[in-house]
Structure 1
Amino acid sequence: MEVLTKYVKFEETIKGSRFLSELIPCSSQAQAREILKAQKAKYADATHVVHAFITGNGAEVKGMSDDGEPSGTAGRPALDVLSGRGCTNLILTITRWFGGTLLGTGGLVKAYGNGAKGVIAAANEEGAFQPLVAKRAFTFNADYSLLKPIKNLMESGNFHFWNVKEDFGTEVTLTGEIQADEYETFASKLKDLSNGKINL
């Protein structure tokens, strides 16, 4: 399973209709709704803003919409392409500006499917996908005298962290996320350097 790490776009014109396909990193259904709302506002002059999204570590949350195109001709083919790629945490919007020629249901399925394939190919080319890393949250308090050794441990290069925050009160509180398969080793090292005072 891979995740999208950056914005990617792909554009084509079919029988006068302009199709703009955009892949945007997205970590939840709520965020997908916000992105879609922003896209619709940004492209208020467009005929349709079709979307498909996948989120969750196991790609378990999925959604799509035809946005006024005939049922099953737009969102479904786009979602099928995303599902086939084995990716998660992204939303695809395909914005169409109608060019005057009706494409028919078969033509629409092909156009939206190709838009999804085109932007996925562009993302592959740009190296926009990275393997999904399972993370585990942590929180612990430590005496100020332990802050330097803890920082040395965290900066040793043996661990991968995200969103680390320090709060200074009577003790220092550290919160963040660590790569899940490194959690137990990190917990053990913390316990050792604090003589058993820090337990994750």
Structure 2
Amino acid sequence: MQILLEQATCEIEVKKSRFIAIACPLSDLSHIKEVVNQTRSQHPGANHVVHAAVLGPKGDLYSYSDDHEPKNTAGRPALEVLKGSGVTNILVLVVRYFGGTLLGTGGLVKAYADSVKEVLKIIKTEALIDKTSFHISMPYHLYEPIKKQLIEAQAVIDSEEFAVEVTLTGTLSSSSFASCASTIYDLSNGSCTLNPIDG
């Protein structure tokens, strides 16, 4: 699965109706209402703000709304495109400004699905990697070699605390945690351990 890195927006026009698709990173389904309300306030003249969202490591949590479009002509087709995209932790809003011509159910389904397809073409994503948080304490003389080892393992160091010893906290891909921990243990002659943080 891929996850969305940053917000992206694009617009299509169908028979004078404007469809503005906005893709946003999403960490929790409970945030959707707030984002929808913000978007409504930014587009006070819009007729509909439809949403579709996919969430979770397996992309198996969903949310969608037709926002007063005929049932299953807006949110559902938008969601189906999202589900097929391999992207998770994503919310796509489609803002519709009615252009005066009714599109019919088939036309609506196509317009909302196409809006999502277009925004998916321009989004930036990265692979969803299972990460493990860690902390490690070490004497000052081991700080440089251990930090170098962590950086080589592509760890992200969130904080460094210099007290009696140096303590680092950060995250590391779960798949490389064991080998990195083993290397650090050997490097320090068994005096330093890379400790996972639960939760």
1:110 is matched with: 110
1:89 is matched with: 89
Q: Which deviates more, 80-89 or 132-141?
A: 132-141
Residues 1:194 and 1:170: Cα distance change in structure 2 (over 3 Å): same
CA distance in 2, matches of 1:75, 1:39: 16
Q: Which deviates more, 39-48 or 160-169?
A: 160-169
CA distance in 2, matches of 1:76, 1:83: 10
Any residues of structure 2 matched to 1:6-17 within 5 Å, and which?
6-17=6-17
CA distance in 2, matches of 1:50, 1:39: 10
Gaps of 5+ in 1: none
**Amino acid of the structure 2 residue aligned with 1:171:** E
Q: Is the 8 A contact 2:157 2:168 kept in 1?
A: no
2:177 is matched with: 183
1:166 is matched with: 160
Any residues of structure 2 matched to 1:44-193 within 5 Å, and which?
44-123=44-123, 128-155=124-151, 157=152, 159-162=153-156, 164-193=158-187
Deviations 1:29-56 (A, max 9, x none): 2444443332222222211111111121
State the 1:61 CA deviation.
1.8
State the 1:146 CA deviation.
2.5
Residues 1:175 and 1:30: Cα distance change in structure 2 (over 3 Å): farther
Work out the percentage of aligned pairs sharing the same amino acid: 39
Residue 13 of structure 1 aligns to a residue whose secondary structure is strand
CA distance in 1, matches of 2:87, 2:166: 38
Runs of 4+ in structure 1 off by over 6 angstroms are none
Give the superposed CA RMSD: 2.0
Residues 1:34 and 1:184: Cα distance change in structure 2 (over 3 Å): farther
CA distance in 2, matches of 1:7, 1:163: 25
Residues 1:101 and 1:31: Cα distance change in structure 2 (over 3 Å): same
Residues 1:60 and 1:39: Cα distance change in structure 2 (over 3 Å): same
Q: TM-score, normalization: structure 1?
A: 0.86
Residue 146 of structure 1 aligns to a residue whose secondary structure is helix
Q: TM-score, normalization: structure 2?
A: 0.86
CA distance in 1, matches of 2:23, 2:157: 24
State the 1:91 CA deviation.
1.1
